Amino acid sequence: MARIHKPIPGVDKHLLIKDAAKLLPDPTRRLFLRGAGSLGALTFLTGCDIIDGDGAERVLRKISSFNDGAQALLFNPNRLAPTYPESMITRPFPFNAYYGLDEAPEVDGPSYKLQVGGLVDNKKSWTLQELYALPQEKQVTRHICVEGWSAIGSWTGTPLREFLRGIGADTRAKYVWFRCAEGYSTTIDMPTALHPQTQMTFKFDDKILPRAYGFPMKIRMPTKLGFKNPKYVMEMAVTNDDLGGYWEDQGYNWFSGL
Amino acid sequence: MASVDISSTESAAPESVIHPLWVRITHWINAVAILVMIGSGWQIYNASPLFPFTFPRSITLGGWLAGAIMWHFAAMWVLVINGIIYVTLGIVTGRFRRKLLPIYPSEVIAAVKAALSGRLAHDDLSVYNAVQRLLYLGVILAGVFVVLTGLSIWKPVQLQELTALFGGYDGARYLHFLAMSLIAGFIAIHVLMALLVPKSLRAMIRGK
């Protein structure tokens, strides 16, 4: 559990995560009982069982779900994330994951096939050659991490909504789920999947997506926090079931919209 | 609670109500909400510090980043809804105008000098001295500032004009931290003064 957020050498110092191990949940501890100072005040003033770890966590998760709904209402499907000139691209762009770069998945390009499933008409798998032949767009947008730091990057690929229409996806379904090579996963809401800037990304900074940034395919969404932007995507499915995700299941807010 | 009348005039008579019920309720709800917001905010800050220091874990809330975010985005509703009620009533009842205005710089300086020499009178709790007026009005404005900068960090796409107003996403993070620092500084002075003048604490609990 100690390996997390190992940056690539030469990354700007302010982008480094100072004490990354802290960010990981420790199953041996009760999640929300840390921080005696603030909680002491809370106990004093409420005098009830809200500070009970499990009870507090249950209430907080309910409020987090409520916040998903509030954010879905705030989400304007036509509102574009700000774009930036290429001169503002953060170089080098930080690598960030719950493992080090040397442990990042190494997906074999020639044998890669994107699996497509769920509520779609055409469930054929896609080779990289076929994917690269799709019309592509470039965006220079800000990647914002749940940790607070941000970095501007350049991503090129196919708008997800074009791909979903092409394969006859049921866009009235609620979710799109992504599974990644290392076992990572995430589920997003359909309005975000259909947002004009949500992209199946094949290039970073005009070059084929390097391993650090998710080769062979990343899903880029400038309207969501970084962890909702999966890398090394192997499979996607259109679904009416919320299949959760790696970080969402551990307590990060599900919608995490910007 | 029979002696508490929300619409009562706040005269200087010793037995009359200094803080009407709505002030006391919103004050203590706000106190809890702001402690949760600051404690969880410090934990969130620690995930990607803006300055070369982090907050000790013993004074942060949430245990880790996801827990802190849950606390922060739960308490924000309490802070904002309670804050809107407080500011609305403060304006509508005329309490802000009556208690916090006017503020003259000369009176502020005189009051600071008096306080530093230990001669600042607190005989009449219903009348705020110039430093109190300045601090109470200032912390209300800091509260508005912390909410607006917080919104601009939370929704830098949906509320991008607001974020731009604060110098973009990164600028808004620094200003949100500044707003927190102003509020934390206020709390430090406010709690110290309440302890030095215990009858002021009693008034905020019992009303008089």
**Residue B44 counted as domain residue:** yes
If 0-12 CB within 10 Å is exposed, 13-18 middle and 19+ buried, where does residue A73 land? exposed
Contacts of range B173-179, beta carbons closer than 8 Å, 24 or more positions apart = B173/A148, B173/B50, B174/B50, B175/B145, B175/B149, B176/B146, B176/B149, B176/B150, B176/B152, B177/B45, B177/B50, B179/B142, B179/B145, B179/B146, B179/B149
Q: What's the whole-number mean pLDDT along residues A189-207?
A: 98
- Is B158 within 8 Å of A25 when comparing Cβ atoms? no
If 0-12 CB within 10 Å is exposed, 13-18 middle and 19+ buried, where does residue B92 land? exposed
Under the banding of pLDDT at 50, 70 and 90, the label for residue A45 is very low
Please state, for a pLDDT cut of 90, what percent of chain A lies above it: 78
Under the banding of pLDDT at 50, 70 and 90, the label for residue A83 is very high
Rounded to the nearest integer, the mean pLDDT of chain A is 86
Q: Which CATH number characterizes residue B26's domain?
A: 1.20.950.20
Tell me the pLDDT tens digit for each residue of B48-90.
Answer: 999 999 999 999 999 999 999 999 999 999 999 999 999 999 9
A89 or A53, higher pLDDT:
A89
Judged by a CB distance cut-off of 8 A, whether residue A9 touches chain B is no
**Residue B149 counted as domain residue:** yes
Note the pLDDT of residue A52: 53
Tell me the pLDDT tens digit for each residue of A12-28.
Answer: 434 333 333 344 444 43
- pLDDT of residue B198 exceeding 90, the answer is yes
Note the pLDDT of residue B9: 46
Structurally, chain B folds into a number of domains equal to: 1
Span of A97-106, A160-169, A175-184, B122-131 with lowest mean pLDDT: B122-131
**Residue B16 counted as domain residue:** no
- pLDDT of residue A148 exceeding 50, the answer is yes
Question: Smallest Cα–Cα separation from B162: which of B178, B174, B150?
Answer: B150
* Nearest beta carbon to residue A64 from set B61, B70, B173: B70
Whole-prediction pTM: 0.86
Please state, for a pLDDT cut of 90, what percent of chain B lies above it: 84
Torsion B144-B142-B124-B199 (CA) sign? positive
**Residue B81 counted as domain residue:** yes
- pLDDT of residue B149 exceeding 60, the answer is yes
3-state SS assignment for residue B125: coil
Judged by a CB distance cut-off of 8 A, whether residue A253 touches chain B is yes
Q: What's the whole-number mean pLDDT along residues A122-150?
A: 98
CATH dotted code for A86-250: 3.90.420.10
CB A129 within 8 A of CB B26: no
- pLDDT of residue B199 exceeding 80, the answer is yes
Domain that holds residue B27: 21-206
Note the pLDDT of residue B85: 98
Rounded to the nearest integer, the mean pLDDT of chain B is 92
**Residue at B83: amino acid letter:** G
- Is A79 within 8 Å of B61 when comparing Cβ atoms? no
Structural tokens at position B155: 């929704």
Span of A2-16, A69-83, A124-138, B155-169 with lowest mean pLDDT: A2-16
Under the banding of pLDDT at 50, 70 and 90, the label for residue B15 is low
Note the pLDDT of residue A41: 45
Under the banding of pLDDT at 50, 70 and 90, the label for residue B119 is confident
Note the pLDDT of residue A199: 98
- CA-to-CA distance for A3 and A6, rounded, in angstroms? 7
- pLDDT of residue A2 exceeding 70, the answer is no
Span of A127-136, B41-50, B112-121 with lowest mean pLDDT: B112-121
User: Which of B29, B36, B64, B175 to mutate against chain A (most A CBs within 10 Å)?
Assistant: B64
**Residue B144 counted as domain residue:** yes
- Is A23 within 8 Å of B44 when comparing Cβ atoms? no
Under the banding of pLDDT at 50, 70 and 90, the label for residue B194 is very high
In chain B, which residue's Cα lies nearest the Cα of A25? B64
* Nearest beta carbon to residue B28 from set A35, A45, A64: A45
- CA-to-CA distance for A16 and A1, rounded, in angstroms? 18
Peptide linkage before B102 cis (omega within 30 of 0): yes
Helix segments in chain A, DSSP class H:
36-46, 53-74, 128-132, 160-166, 190-193
- pLDDT of residue A107 exceeding 50, the answer is yes
* Nearest beta carbon to residue A251 from set B40, B49, B67: B67
Q: What's the whole-number mean pLDDT along residues A69-95?
A: 97
Q: What's the whole-number mean pLDDT along residues A231-248?
A: 97
Q: Is B72 left (phi over 0), alpha (psi -120 to 50) or beta?
A: alpha
Note the pLDDT of residue B208: 86
- Is A35 within 8 Å of B61 when comparing Cβ atoms? yes
Structural tokens at position B37: 């917001």
